Amino acid sequence: MDFSLSKSQLMIRKSVRKFASETLEEWANYLDRESKPLPPEIVREMGRLNIWGIQAPVEFGGAGLDTVSYCLVIEEISRVSAAVGLGVTVHNSVCLAPILRFGTRDQIARYAPDLASGRKIGGFTVTEPQAGSDAASIQTTAVADGDHYILNGQKAFVTNGGVGDLFIVAASVDRSKKTRGIALFLVEKSMEGFEVGKIEDMMGMRGNMVSELFFNNVRVPKENLLGRAEDGFRISMQTLDIGRIGIAAQALGIGTAAYTAAATYAMERKQFDKPIGTFQAISFMLADMKTNLDATRLLIYRAADLKDRGLPFSTESAMCKVYASSAAMQVCMQALQIFGGYGYVKDLPVERFFRDAKITEIYEGTSEVMKIIIGNDIIREFSRI
Amino acid sequence: MLSILVCIKQVPDTQKALFDPKTGVIDRNTADNIVNPDDLHALEMALSLKDECGASITALTMGPSQAADVLAEAYALGVDRGVLISDPRFAGSDSLVTGKILSRAIEKLGPFDIIMTGCEAIDGNTGHVGYQLSEFLRMPLLTQIHKLRVSPGQVIIERLYGHEYQKIRVDLPVLITAGKTANRVRTPRLADIRTCAEREITVLTMDDIGGEAREYGAAGSPTVVIETELFSHRRERELFAGTVDEKVDKLIHKLKKQNILRY
């Protein structure tokens, strides 16, 4: 068993780390403080670097990377700006990836090149004000009308909502069929009746324009149906399995940033004539942080590797996500404690890491939903005996 | 189309490396190997020329087999050919012999319109190689360039030389060394990083470039390192008393005395 990264994976990590520190770092605090998106010139540069099409095939303008490399990119970006990492992972793993996997040749030709290059930013939305973890209870409807479906309804907490050009939208074509009645549609910002609602004023991830979306008699051509009408829920769940690996990598990035900052500070800050990191109380905290992050990393790479080898990874994806988000929270809390009063003020980024980490336990399936997925797998396994 | 060769060197990242306090030698296990920063500026200058007017770029490095890593990085950035000079008989070569080896390889690979190097490497900091290549190859040398334009058969370069700003027109072929402030080195595309390690690298040995073993390596090198000392730079702090005007006068006086302000 070889736990080491390949030469190209190491180069990818080094290169993205350099880009993040040279280009994104100066923006990270501003995006958070002002709740603003990245300026267009940086979005374009990220497009040139293939960051909007990390795993998309080269013929569509992507980099064609494996999933472990994908995680490295998300981790490194999120180390500097979790909000930018969020935009990138959602765009890649739950918008572009399902189009490439489940889309028709025409849909791929129409959307993949623009998405992979970052000329268009994508999102994916199931959640509604009344339908969170209970995704099957969505109220947004799609009614067939000739060559079109007519969409009506409202979506909530849509990542990239304020800046996105294309969204995969879950809507019910037949409420009586519950999950089998949920379909996915490719909805463009320019379609009549599509409206971006309030940009959320959030605790963390403030550099991502998370918003409400409204659909008021939006006429979506039937060729924009993603997969078969009755497969929307299944495609959503499979898509989220992939998305969760990205969110876990994001949590790992946040945790790593907090740990690195805390370890550096602990060896600089002197109290009682000694660096505080040499006191056992602090070094034990750092030891816990390092161990937690390493375990997270291995869980993520394992899930990513299973996906790359075409093996089932749904449970492993849920395991890495629930563990990574919890580890990120714990590590950020300990980092803040090590920084003491300095960690609590906004002059240093530690409090931002802490605020950003919390949402990883909530979105792309809450930690409780992750445990349902893992629990169901355990039930299946042991009821056979 | 222009034909450009860029010399790049793999060096330990001396900003992160730890030094043995007794011998003053770098502990190579404490640092990653990187492309020498000045060489990256030279490479970026070549890549910009390629973007502007088209060029074929060869990246040349010398070292053990792991030095091929810097060629993979050069491929990711956009060079067309990577060449590694590697031979155990070259081990221990000083900067003079390195210049000799590189120039013989360049003569074999060439001809080139422009040959570029960084000003100096962060491990040895001799800054010799550019000058030695110029001697061995009998080519005009322009050092510490920060801007370069091509006109037919010529290049127009801009350089900071001490306190002077010079603009020089020179016929091709020419050898230049790129300064630290030359440019901002581009980030490679992920797609190019993915494939760069698989690109073909030409390996040259002593048998390819000619010469005899006694000319190369430690045996052929006249340089002898007598002693290495660790150098630490200390910052001085001084507080001036008085009104703002008095403080400014004192500061200007002090800066002039230290030759920091000249006029």
Residue B204: strand, helix, or coil: strand
Does any CB of chain A come closer than 8 Å to the CB of residue B187? yes
Quote the minimal CA–CA distance from A20 to chain B in Å: 10
Domain boundaries, chain B: 2-220
- Contact call for A7 and B72, based on CB within 8 A: yes
Chain B residue nearest residue A49, CA to CA: B189
Residues of chain B numbered 55-74 and touching chain A (CB < 8 Å): 69, 72-73
Tokens representing residue B24 in the block: 């003053």
- Contact call for A8 and B197, based on CB within 8 A: yes
Q: In sequence order, which ranges of B172-259 are alpha helices (DSSP H)? A: 190-196, 206-209, 217-220, 244-257
- Contact call for B194 and A19, based on CB within 8 A: no
* Superfamily in which the B2-220 domain is placed by CATH: HUPs (3.40.50.620)
Residue B95: predicted pLDDT: 87
B74 to B43, B70, B232: CA distances (angstroms): 8, 6, 33
Q: Which residues from A are below 8 Å from B190, CB to CB? A: 12, 15-16, 49-51, 54, 63, 65, 69, 73
Mutate to test the interface with A, among B187, B189, B192, B196 (most CBs of A within 10 A): B187
Q: Which residues from B are below 8 Å from A71, CB to CB? A: none
Residue A377: predicted pLDDT: 94
Instruction: Kindly list the catalytic residues of A.
Output: 364
* Superfamily in which the A123-229 domain is placed by CATH: Butyryl-CoA Dehydrogenase, subunit A, domain 2 (2.40.110.10)
Residue B198: strand, helix, or coil: coil
Collect all residues from A whose CB is shorter than 8 A from any CB in B.
7-8, 11-12, 15-16, 18-19, 22, 48-51, 54, 58, 62-65, 69, 73
The per-residue pLDDT of chain B, averaged, comes to 89
Domain boundaries, chain A: 7-121, 123-229, 233-383
Quote the minimal CA–CA distance from A194 to chain B in Å: 34
- Contact call for B197 and A11, based on CB within 8 A: yes
Q: Which residues of chain B, if any, have pLDDT below 50?
A: none
Sheet holding B141-151, edge to edge: B164-171, B154-161, B141-151, B174-178, B114-118, B2-7, B55-62, B81-85, B201-204
Residue B263: predicted pLDDT: 67
For domain A233-383, give the fold.
Butyryl-CoA Dehydrogenase, subunit A; domain 3 (1.20.140)
Mutate to test the interface with B, among A50, A58, A73, A77 (most CBs of B within 10 A): A50
Residue B123: predicted pLDDT: 80
Quote the minimal CA–CA distance from A71 to chain B in Å: 13
Q: Which residues from B are below 8 Å from A62, CB to CB? A: 191
Q: Which residues from B are below 8 Å from A50, CB to CB? A: 189-191
How many CA atoms, within 13 angstroms, populate the side-chain half-sphere of residue A35? Answer: 12
Residue B183: strand, helix, or coil: coil
Indicate the class that CATH gives domain A7-121: mainly alpha
Q: Number of Cβ pairs closer than 8 Å across A and B?
A: 50
Q: Which residues from B are below 8 Å from A19, CB to CB? A: 187
Residue B182: predicted pLDDT: 75
Does any CB of chain A come closer than 8 Å to the CB of residue B196? yes
Which DSSP string corresponds to B112-163? -SEEEEES--TTT----HHHHHHHHHT--EEEEEEEEEEETTEEEEEEEETT
Contacts of B22 (CB under 8 A, 6+ apart): none
Residue B212: strand, helix, or coil: coil
Q: Which residues from A are below 8 Å from B72, CB to CB? A: 7, 11
Chain A residue nearest residue B198, CA to CA: A8
Q: Which residues from B are below 8 Å from A18, CB to CB? A: 187
Q: Which residues from B are below 8 Å from A64, CB to CB? A: 191, 194
- Contact call for A65 and B194, based on CB within 8 A: yes
The pLDDT tens digits along chain A (385 residues) read 888 999 999 999 999 999 999 999 999 999 999 999 999 999 999 999 999 999 999 999 999 999 999 999 999 999 999 999 999 999 999 999 999 999 999 999 999 999 999 999 999 999 999 988 888 899 999 999 999 999 999 999 999 999 999 999 999 999 899 899 999 999 999 999 999 999 999 999 999 999 999 999 999 999 999 999 999 999 999 999 999 999 999 999 999 999 999 999 999 999 999 999 999 999 999 999 999 999 999 999 999 999 999 999 999 999 999 999 999 999 999 999 999 999 999 999 999 999 999 999 999 999 999 999 999 999 999 997 6
Residue B12: predicted pLDDT: 84
Quote the minimal CA–CA distance from B190 to chain A in Å: 5
Does any CB of chain A come closer than 8 Å to the CB of residue B190? yes
Among A8, A19, A22, beta carbon nearest to B194: A8
Residue B142: predicted pLDDT: 92
- Contact call for B190 and A48, based on CB within 8 A: no
Quote the minimal CA–CA distance from B196 to chain A in Å: 8
pTM: 0.89
Quote the minimal CA–CA distance from B194 to chain A in Å: 6
Quote the minimal CA–CA distance from A118 to chain B in Å: 14
